[in-house]
Amino acid sequence: MNSKSNKYLLLGNKNFLEEHLSEISKNIADADEHIFYADEMDENEYFTTIFTMPLFSLDKIIIVKNIDKHKKPSELYEKSVSSEFTIVFLSESANVEKQIPKNVKDNYNIIKESKKTKPNIINEIISIFSSKGFKISRSTAEEIYTLSNNDLAIVKNELEKVEIYYKYNKPESEEDILNIISSSRNESLFVFIDKYCEKNYKQAITHLNKLISAGENLDILYHMLFKRISKIYLYKINPSLVTEQTFIMNKIKSNAKIWDKRELSEVIKLFCEIDFKSKSGYKDDNRGLINLIGLIASDSIHYAQYP
């Protein structure tokens, strides 16, 4: 089948891409899913995939992420048209559309994210917080948007942190929500996670001390660090298991090169022990994090014994 109906180019932010990819996927029954990253694609494997019949199902869907980073995207678009299977190219860059050769452009469904006005974004923020049980005013939504660097994807990450903090109770006021978001915007929190995953012991322990001194919520830190470590582990098993914003994905790829599965398993095992102690009432947040940092000390070229 050489038809426009099953070739797609999706252009927009991560959430937009995920939503539309999900819509396309759910309309394809009994299909093998194959995911490729354009910046590290084995083209022989890709073309074999799109031109051979599926082994265990009736259909295939092939997903190519970061198509804007491919060296010869126009060639990829042109050759892919001949495949009978559904192929979806994804990009967070709007300029990719220009790279499709004119002779095959009509073969693609091009779906672009429309530019949202600020009032629409503020309404969406109010809606997503309400869906999680947090009622906020328009002024609070606007402040959350500002604290999140005017990035809706970051707003959704911040909401996840608010959910963690208020898992067993509810905020008394909207100011409590803003305090959590303001606190979690502390750069040291994100730097700590980056340095830990880079196995930079000295910087990791320095930023942990800053977080402890600032009274940062360490439950949020545990959750975010475990999430990153888990994604590095999954990426080493199979890159197609991990979906993230482009800048986070680049960090995960880089981190995966310096960790082996055994080391990651040790970190995850210690997380499980800390979680068990937490549920048993014996959790020591500071000591647990120091023990986690201890696992990277011997491998760090920036090692310095903890005082």
254, 16, 90, 38 alpha-carbon torsion, rounded to 10°:
0
Question: Which residue, among 169, 274, 185, has the nearest Cα to 229 in the 3D structure?
Answer: 274
Tell me the Cα Rg of the chain: 22
**Average pLDDT, 10 consecutive residues per value, the chain (307 residues):** 73 84 85 88 93 88 92 90 94 80 86 87 93 92 85 83 85 87 66 90 87 76 88 92 77 91 92 80 73 76 38
| pLDDT for residue 302 | 42
Rounded to an integer, what distance in angstroms lies between the CA atom of residue 235 and that of residue 44? 21
| pLDDT for residue 306 | 34
Exposed e or buried b per residue across 116-131, where buried means at least 16 C-beta atoms within 10 angstroms of its C-beta: eeeeebbebbbeebee
| pLDDT for residue 276 | 81
| pLDDT for residue 186 | 56
Rounded to an integer, what distance in angstroms lies between the CA atom of residue 152 and that of residue 140? 14
| pLDDT for residue 185 | 53
| pLDDT for residue 126 | 95
| pLDDT for residue 282 | 64
| pLDDT for residue 231 | 93
Question: Which residue, among 295, 208, 224, has the nearest Cα to 260 in the 3D structure?
Answer: 295
